[in-house]
């Protein structure tokens, strides 16, 4: 059997599923998951720039989350039970990313609660701080959550007698999707917010290896 001489060259047939494109020719198509392919944006950004951001958020984040949850629910008899950590990490990473487009100059412990307060449905306001300190930090940094909890379905937000917040993973997913709707609406009408998001966009572009 003959093998390609350059075994270290990335496959042209199977491009990166997410992230920079390394070791391949330039890619012409705009792929929301690949910053290497994002089109350049002039400053100040035009209203059409929001169409690009909406594709990044919906195709690069929400569509994958929806597909992953649908696959789990179709194949797993107990639903998201036993899959919750993985799904939760993905959604909280998306929340972190969205908050950086909204408030790129703010520290994480400020921008995540602020994004939740500004764009999530109002019932999430009671847990906006815990979504950063308990949920995001616990799951992403330690895998385990010590003072907060997710349930596997559409359970509403509740505060237990010991003060710990609890909510369903699908409830959080619905809130995350609604936040994208509201954030995109704000970007279309607010020049300052659009410019702020464009700065984050350009930072990701310039820091991406292609």
Range of the domain at 79: 45-200
Residue 35 domain-assigned? no
Residues 163-191: pLDDT tens digits?
A: 899 999 999 999 999 999 999 999 999 99
Across residues 140-152, what is the average pLDDT?
89
- Total structural domains within the chain: 1
In a domain, 96, yes or no: yes
Assess if residue 154 is contained within a domain: yes
Assigned token pair, 134: 């308990």
Residue 37 domain-assigned (yes or no): no
Position 7 in a domain: no
What pLDDT was estimated at residue 103? 97
Rounded distance between C-alpha atoms, residue 137 and residue 143, angstroms: 9
Domain assignment of residue 78, yes or no: yes
Q: What value does the mean pLDDT take over residues 23-39?
A: 77
- For residue 138, being part of any structural domain is answered with yes
Q: Is residue 34 part of a domain?
A: no
């Amino acid at each position: 059997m003959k093998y390609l001489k350059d075994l270290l060259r990335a496959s042209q047939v199977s491009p990166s599923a997410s992230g920079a494109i390394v070791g391949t020719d330039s890619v012409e198509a705009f792929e929301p998951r690949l910053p290497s392919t994002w089109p350049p944006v002039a400053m100040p950004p035009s209203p059409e720039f929001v169409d690009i951001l909406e594709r990044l958020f919906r195709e690069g984040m929400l569509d994958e989350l929806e597909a992953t949850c649908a696959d789990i629910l179709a194949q797993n008899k107990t639903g998201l039970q036993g899959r919750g950590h993985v799904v939760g990490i993905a959604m909280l990473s998306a929340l972190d990313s969205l908050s950086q487009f909204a408030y790129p100059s703010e520290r994480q412990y400020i921008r995540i609660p602020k994004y939740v307060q500004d764009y999530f449905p109002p019932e999430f306001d009671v847990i906006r701080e815990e979504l950063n300190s308990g949920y995001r930090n616990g799951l992403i940094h330690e895998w385990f959550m010590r003072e907060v909890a997710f349930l596997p379905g559409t359970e509403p937000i509740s505060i237990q007698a010991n003060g710990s917040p609890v909510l369903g993973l699908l409830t959080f997913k619905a809130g995350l999707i609604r936040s994208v709707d509201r954030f995109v609406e704000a970007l279309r009408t607010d020049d300052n917010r659009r410019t702020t998001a464009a700065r984050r966009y350009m930072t990701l572009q310039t820091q991406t290896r292609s």
